[in-house]
Amino acid sequence: MQFCDQCGSLMRRDGSWMVCSASGCDGRQSVDEDLAASFVHTEEQGETEVIETDESVAQEGLPTTDDVRCDDCGNTTAWYTLKQTASADEPPTRFFKCTECGHRWRGYN
């Protein structure tokens, strides 16, 4: 991988040039053939292709708790994250998402 010196975005090969992939940036460098030999190219993938993921995998890896109850469906298991929403001497806020229906709420310690 090579990154643009002007904006830091990923560069892609265009013939004998490495060009910046960010719109509006005209970053461009000549290809160093010794370095380019180690690059992997995927010609089939276009610049505008979007990689879609299943929304349910966004919660993978988050801790769960069985000490809460969802107000919408009554489920007692939820994913949670901790955020420091007040000053540092205050306890963090826990944000919950029900593992069954996806309802979100916050809890204060």
Burial of 94 (0-12, 13-18, 19+ CB in 10 A): middle
Q: Residue 54: its pLDDT value, please?
A: 58
Residues 46 and 69 in one domain: no
CB 91 within 8 Å of CB 83: no
- d(CA 44, CA 7) in angstroms, rounded, equals 26
Residues 48 and 59 in one domain: no
Residues 3 and 40 in one domain: yes
Residues 60 and 37 in one domain: no
What's 90's domain CATH number? 2.20.25.10
Residue 64 scores a pLDDT above 80 = yes
- d(CA 47, CA 38) in angstroms, rounded, equals 21
Neighbours of 39 (CB within 10 A): 12
Residues 72 and 103 in one domain: yes
The string of pLDDT tens digits covering residues 1-57 is 678 888 888 888 888 888 888 878 888 888 877 766 666 656 555 555 555 555 655
Residues 35 and 73 in one domain: no
For the chain, give the mean pLDDT.
Answer: 79
